[in-house]
Amino acid sequence: MSDPVSPELTNWIKVTAKEIKVRQDDRSWATEVVNHFRENLLKFLKSSSDAPLFESAVILNTGSYFEKVKIHSPNEFDMMLMLQRLPSSNVTCLDGGLFYRIDLQRPTRHPIKDFVLENELTVSSSRVLNEVHRLVRKFIKTYKAPDKRCRWEVNRKRMFSPAVTLSLCRSEKNSEELISVDVVAALEVQTWPSAVRDGPDVGNWLGKKVRQEIRGQPCYFVPKRLKGRNVNVDAKESWRISFSHIEKKLIACHGNKKTCCESKDTRCCRKQCLMLLKSLIEGLKQTFPEQLEDLCSYHGKTTFLHTLSSRYDDSMWACPMLPSCFLLLVTALKDHAQQGVLPHFFAPNCNLFSPSYFPRKKLLFLVEALEDQLRDGLPLLKPQTPVCPLRSALVNVETPQLSSVQTNKIHIITCAFVIIIAVVSSLAWM
């Protein structure tokens, strides 16, 4: 980076990087609660006689928490519910490489037969998603969280979302959410579609061997429909390809050298940079909810992965370089927005900043917002209010709250007591 980072900004970035880390106590409690939920959900699915497609399901933990780049609080978890591998099938691309129609090559006795359209070949994403909703709701009716102060509830369906979202709340009614979990069904297809067949550009970064290993991984499709009005049947029953499992591996094994981050002497600042960028994006969305409603953390992750591919040497990410590396990452996101081009890391023909995904007017607003942040010293990185620990939020439930009448009585008694002491003191001096 050509311009030096001021000492004040350097110090602030380093302090913020420490502050946004998840507390260890919260991590332990949340992990215990979510693991208990996951294990019991799997037991329920294996014993469900009316859902053969889900009997052998396996859960793959994905998302920022399991990538160890979660910020502030462990309050969001993603679970990919991997179903039985499909029999021979064809996938037809519906856009630049993210959305597909899945067709069986022939009618089958595979459990997927219950989720095909009338032609007996096209796999219906909406039917699979509805079945996940049904099973999760059925499971929640009898399941109890290990912490008796909490309860799970299933949220309403969200348009265009592939997930069944659950919230862990305090036991009383209308209480706030402590943890959310997204359960997403995924169909496994061994052969990668042609739009993504070359695999991610990690040859210079991780080596050709790792790139081949990635290409040997199966790919998964989640039930998400294409956005847009007056869409055809294919779009309504579309599947989105998912590389969550590979993204998790890339972020875990992120070094150009195999020893990166294995010891204190070989640590880099890559993950810290991503966490800071996620925090900045979160701050932008909270400050400008309407103008930046299309912005999400995945734009930051995609920018991050592209930057790792071009700045692949571990020496470029040494820990003392955290401030300059982070500012370079913010500048990279701004440049992508300014050019209106952010290729998906695995499907390069799909532009995440195209007008169909991100309206041009809002993209220009993002550019201006990022320029303001860079010019003013990243004020949105400064936390507005401290994040309440999850355990403290539960402890507060057990603390009795005084009514306004009780508070007034205490205030009157206190005032009377003060007056009595003052009178007695004055009499003593007489």
Straight-line distance from the first to the last Cα atom of the chain, in angstroms, rounded to the nearest whole number: 78
Residues 192 and 246 grouped into a single domain: yes
Number of domains in the chain: 3
- Same domain flag for 376 and 316: yes
Nearest to 79 by CA among 176, 194, 164: 164
Residues 226 and 268 in one domain: no
The CA distance from 138 to 210, in Å, is: 42
pLDDT digits (tens, 9 = 90+) for 157-207: 888 889 999 999 988 776 788 888 999 999 988 788 999 988 888 989 988
* Model confidence pLDDT, tens digit, residues 40-81: 999 999 998 899 999 999 988 766 655 566 667 778 888 999
> Is residue 355 located within the same domain as residue 339?
yes
Residue 413's domain comprises: 400-429
Same domain? 117 vs 13? no
CATH code of 5's domain? 1.10.1410.40
Among the candidates 236, 253, 270, a domain finishes at 253
Tell me, what CATH number does 113's domain have? 3.30.460.90
Q: What is the per-residue pLDDT for 413?
A: 52
What band does 394 get if pLDDT is binned at 50, 70 and 90? low
Do residues 109 and 37 both lie within one domain? Answer: yes
Instruction: Identify whether residues 9 and 54 lie together within a single domain.
Output: no
Give yes or no: residues 151 and 226 share one domain. Answer: yes
Q: Which of 221, 253, 285 is the last residue of a domain?
A: 253
SS3 at position 77:
strand
Separation of alpha carbons 325 and 316, rounded Å: 8
> Are 197 and 53 in the same domain?
yes
DSSP string, 221-261: EE--PPPSSS--HHHHT-EEEE-HHHHHHHHHT--SSTTTT
Choose between 352 and 396: higher pLDDT.
Answer: 352
Convert the pLDDT of each residue in 223-236 to its tens digit. Answer: 998 876 556 777 78
pLDDT at residue 324 in the model? 95
132 in the same domain as 29 = yes
What pTM, to 2 d.p., does this model score? 0.84
Same domain for 358 and 282? yes
More confident residue, 26 or 34: 34
**C-alpha dihedral, 351 to 355 to 360 to 362, nearest 10°:** -90
Burial of 27 per CB tally in 10 Å (0-12, 13-18, 19+): middle
Amino acid letter, 95: D
pLDDT at 398: 42
Domain end, chosen from 253, 281, 304, is at 253
The answer to which of 2-11, 110-119, 374-383 has the lowest mean pLDDT is 2-11
| Phi, psi torsion values for 92, nearest 5 degrees | -115, 120
Task: Say whether both 125 and 142 belong to one domain.
Answer: yes
Residues 6+ apart with CB under 8 A from 79: 38, 59, 60, 61, 62, 181, 182, 183, 184
